[in-house]
Structure 1
């Protein structure tokens, strides 16, 4: 577990340091975008809730996200207008004194264009079906589809330097899944 946390922190710091060293370049538009799916949501058998809250495990994952991203200089936090995404971004927003800004997950191309106009470091909290799609719209590699039933720990880090995008994929928080070889 410590090795995993060290690896995540190393990549976050390395990505931030790389972006910081590039900021002095003339005409450079540095940007680092962190994208996650919302944390674990409550699923009650026999009850269909279109806007469920997070579970205790989800709350713990959201707290861990605030810990991991809390000291890297996040400038903006965007969430879809669902309780589970807002609750995932809330601990970081409170820690940093930022307001979360809503976006429409049904209008991803327009949102991607909006994000591309911003600079700085941005967190986007989305859904299993929208997060990889948004990564791709931003020029990154969305990878394999997110497993709707069990995958809540994917953390994309997109480092944008003008038209060049580097995609890093990390895991955060505790998961029951075994790391792949």
Structure 2
């Protein structure tokens, strides 16, 4: 567990060190897809493997300085965010999965010194990343549940944000 925190810290330190210009008024955004789900036809919750993954996320982000957590109204995203929210004493903000603009407006309202978590879906996270200025293509396969993305803000004057991709 400790090696994962160190890896995350090292990756972010390297990334932040590489950005010479001051950060724009946008938070550090962590994005994850919900964990593995139960095999149910409608609005499935998390499987035991997905629940364990949600616990790992909570441990990894315990000291990340999160100020807010955003999820969609689906059981699997809310359940994935729950351990992190409980650990940090935060109440997740639930927004419709299809309303990317509302989420982006909320994210942009956070300052550059803040960090937030977004728990979404394989088909919503790429659009969120694009909306935050990351233009390289990001795809998440249907059987991938273990990506943790950390998007650092771009610099004023048009420098693009940088993305760190970790597996957890």
**TM-score strictly above 0.5:** yes
CA positional deviation for 1:171: 2.7
Q: Secondary structure at the match of 1:168?
A: strand
Q: Does 1:139 align with 2:133?
A: yes
Segments of 4+ moved more than 4 angstroms:
1-6, 13-19
1:97-116 alignment, distance < 5 Å: 97-116=89-108
Question: Which residue is equivalent to 1:151?
Answer: 144
Question: What is the correspondence of 1:89-104 to structure 2 with a 5 Å cutoff?
Answer: 89-104=81-96
Q: Is the CA contact (8 Å cut-off) linking 1:64 and 1:172 kept in structure 2?
A: no
Structure 2 gaps of 5+ residues are none
When Rg is computed on C-alpha atoms for both structures, the one with the higher figure is 1
Runs (5+) with no aligned partner, structure 1: 174-181
Aligned residues: 163
Stretch moving more, 158-167 or 66-75:
158-167
With structure 1 as the length reference, what TM-score do the two structures score? 0.78
Number of the residue aligned with 1:88: 80
Counterpart Cα distance in 2 of 1:66 and 1:142? 28
- Matched residue, 2:27: 31
Residue 38 of structure 2 corresponds to 42
CA displacement 1:120-141 (0-9 Å, x = unmatched): 1110000010011111111114
